[in-house]
A = this chain, B = another copy of it.
Amino acid sequence: MSHIARLFVESPLRPEQPVDLGADQSRYLTRVMRLQPGSKVRAFNGQDGEWECELQGTPKSAVLNPLRQTRVQGTGTDLTLLFAPIKKARTDFIIEKATELGVSAIHPVLTEYTQTSRVRVDRFRSLAIEAAEQTERMDVPEIFEAVPLAKALSVWTDQRPLIYCDESAEAAPLAVHTSSLAQKPTSILIGPEGGFSPRERQMLRALDFVIPITLGPRILRAETAVVSALTLWQSLLGDWHNSPYLPVSE
A residues within 8 Å of B by Cβ?
89, 93, 96-97, 100-102, 134-137, 167-170, 173-175, 214-221, 224, 227-228, 231-232, 234-235, 238-247
Contacts and interface: CB of A to CB of B under 8 A. Distances in A.
A220 B175 contact: no
Nearest to A175: B235
A6 to B, nearest CB: 10
Determine how many copies of this chain the complex contains: 2
A244 B97 contact: no
Nearest to A97: B224
Given A97-B224, A175-B235, A227-B231, A240 B219 contact: no
Contact of A244 (B217, B224, B243): B217
A229 to B, nearest CB: 9
A214 B244 contact: yes
A172 to B, nearest CB: 9
Nearest to A193: B134
29 contacts: A89-B89, A97-B224, A97-B227, A100-B219, A100-B221, A100-B224, A101-B220, A101-B228, A134-B221, A136-B218, A167-B244, A168-B246, A169-B244, A170-B243, A173-B241, A175-B235, A216-B239, A216-B240, A217-B240, A217-B242, A218-B244, A218-B245, A219-B244, A224-B227, A227-B227, A227-B228, A228-B231, A231-B231, A232-B235
Which 5 pairs, one residue from A and one from B, show the smallest C-beta to C-beta distance? A216-B240, A227-B227, A228-B231, A217-B242, A135-B218
A219 B214 CA distance: 27
A174 to B, nearest CB: 8
B231 A217 contact: no
Contact of A240 (B137, B173, B247): B173
